[in-house]
Amino acid sequence: MDTAEALKRAAGIAACEVVSSGMKVGLGTGSTVAFTVIELGRRIAEEGLEIIGVPTSIATEKLAQEVGIPLAELGELAGLDVVIDGADEFNPEFQLIKGGGGALLREKIVAQSAAAMVVVADGSKEVKKLGAFPLPIEIIPFSWSETTRQIKTVLSEHGCGGEISLRRRPELGDAVLDGIDFPVAKGGGVFVTDNGNVILDCHTGATISDPVALERALLNCAGVAQVGLFNNMCDAIYLAAESGVRILKKPDGRLA
Ligand code: 5RP
């Protein structure tokens, strides 16, 4: 296991301390929180931990089943105690960019149902200003090029320029929407989310000064299913470094 992987593992496992028997737990998506899911499975098998998990993607559902975590639909439960998830970026205000793995819509639905949100990350995710990681926006395929135009306008009104690329299947790389004629309908190499939508990656650079206003404005575009800005949701970050895992708690957060 290389250093980056070891840090993900350390953060993913450390965050499991917030989980105890009887809890309903949202299970995030990505390579860091995968270690959380595996560790929760180990505790169920070896320590008798009793939890119910709600996965945020088909990939996480599959992993959770493999490691023996009992699962339920969100609608069967009256809210969750906690969700543990990864992030692509976080800023000093605990605002996040998520969606690098394409699961942002389900991740946000699950996070909104949780009494607290814990993020697992390493130092590469910590930024002063959001946006160096391209902001993922999940949009419905219908009239997607018009939605893309609207998003471009909203971004520029908020001082965020840059290219917008349609996410393709990882092995094919990004398609830059210069002519906005990319043949989504023909499918082929386009990345399709668990919800049958597509994702735009907005290469704004680190220019997102007001994530709350930007999220609100983007959600105002009818074709936008969800925006990868997670504002005022994250309560604590398990941040792994070679010196160990630090717990950053949001001062006015639900775990403070
Ligand atoms: C998936 C996500 C992931 O949590 C995010 O991309 C971080 O993933 P990783 O831990 O693999 O870096 O938002 O939609």
Contact 107 CB / ligand 1 (< 6 Å): yes
DSSP string, 121-171: EEGGGB-SSBTSSPEEEEE-STTHHHHHHHHHHHHHHTT----EEE-B-GG
Nearest residue to 236 via CA among 90, 110, 134: 90
Q: Which atom of ligand 1 is nearest to the CA of 102?
A: 14
Pairing of strands 236-241, 117-122: parallel
65 ligand 1 Cβ < 6 A: no
Token pair belonging to 178: 């210069």
Substitution candidate for ligand 1 out of 9, 32, 117, 239 with most atoms within 8 A of CB = 32
pLDDT at 24: 98
Domains in the chain with CATH codes: 3-123+231-243 (3.40.50.1360), 135-228 (3.30.70.260)
Give the residue whose CA is nearest to atom 4 of ligand 1.
Answer: 86
Q: What is the pLDDT of residue 232?
A: 97
Q: How remote is the CA of residue 96 from the centroid of ligand 1, in Å?
A: 11
- Is residue 93 within 8 Å of 57, Cβ to Cβ? no
CA of 185 from ligand 1 middle (Å) equals 27
Task: Show pLDDT as tens, one digit a residue, over the chain (256 residues).
Answer: 799 999 999 999 999 999 999 999 999 999 999 999 999 999 999 999 999 999 999 999 999 999 999 999 999 999 999 999 999 999 999 999 999 999 999 999 999 999 999 999 999 999 999 999 999 999 998 888 899 999 999 999 999 999 999 888 765 554 444 334 454 444 457 888 999 899 999 999 999 999 999 999 999 999 999 999 999 999 999 999 999 999 999 999 999 8
Any ligand 1 atom below 6 A from CB of 136: no
How far is the C-alpha of 89 from the C-alpha of 98, rounded, in Å?
A: 7
73 is catalytic: no
Pocket of ligand 1, candidates 35, 84, 88, 194: which has the most ligand atoms within 8 Å of its Cβ, to mutate?
88
Give Cα 45 to chain centroid, integer Å: 27
Backbone angles phi, psi at 90, to 5 degrees: -140, 145
Q: Supply the pLDDT for residue 170.
A: 65
CA distance to 67, 127, 135, 251, per residue, from 91 (Å): 32, 5, 14, 14
Ligand 1 centroid to Cα of residue 104, in Å, is 9
CA 70/CA 67 separation, integer angstroms: 9
C-alpha Rg value of the chain to the nearest Å: 18
Of 44, 8, 9, which is closest to residue 23 (Cα–Cα)? Answer: 44
